[in-house]
Amino acid sequence: MNEKKLNVNINDGDEFFAQEASVSYSPTLFNLDFRRITSRIDMRSNDANVLVLKHNVIMLEPYVVKKLMEILGRAVDKYEKEFGKIETPESVKKLEAKVKKQIQTQSKDNDELGYIGPNYFG
């Protein structure tokens, strides 16, 4: 019998730290959008502060998303058994309260429009 050799090249991709994530879906796909926001100083510009938004989007079929939820659930359970319950950090709680207050204020300001614009910060 003739044996054929198969060369496999695996591209692992780049690591990506995400501060935020969102999920959207259509009838056939789920989109997981992982975002990182960093500030940069641009010395060439009069407005030296620049926010850089980086997105990594992963598109998955609904069945795969369901399996991913099961895997993540088991991993979180094991983590919490070993290290204790995962709590929301105080700094995040403070930010969430601040953003909630800003949204309420913005909602009052935009009452006649009934619209709150997109916000990358919460």
Q: What is the pLDDT of residues 29-77, one digit of tens each?
A: 999 999 998 887 777 767 667 788 899 999 999 999 999 999 999 999 9
- The position carrying tokens 């975002």 is 35
Tell whether 82 and 55 lie within a shared domain.
no
Tell whether 40 and 68 lie within a shared domain.
no
**Would you say residue 108 has pLDDT above 70?**
no
Q: What is the mean pLDDT of the chain?
A: 85
- Is residue 121 a part of any domain in this protein? no
- Is residue 28 a part of any domain in this protein? yes
List pLDDT tens digits, range 84-93.
999 999 998 9
Residue 29 pairs in a beta bridge with none
Q: Are 53 and 37 in contact (CB under 8 A)?
A: yes
Extract the tokens encoding 57: 């989007």
Number of domains into which the chain is organized:
2
Residue 4 pairs in a beta bridge with none
Query: Model pTM greater than 0.75?
Result: no
- Is residue 10 a part of any domain in this protein? no
Domain that holds residue 26: 17-60
- Is residue 106 a part of any domain in this protein? yes
Extract the tokens encoding 83: 């290290």
Tell whether 54 and 73 lie within a shared domain.
no
What is the rounded distance in angstroms from the CA atom of residue 30 to the CA atom of residue 22?
Answer: 10
Tell whether 67 and 107 lie within a shared domain.
yes
Give the 3-state secondary structure of 25-37. Answer: ECCCCEEEEEEEE
What is the rounded distance in angstroms from the CA atom of residue 101 to the CA atom of residue 105?
Answer: 6
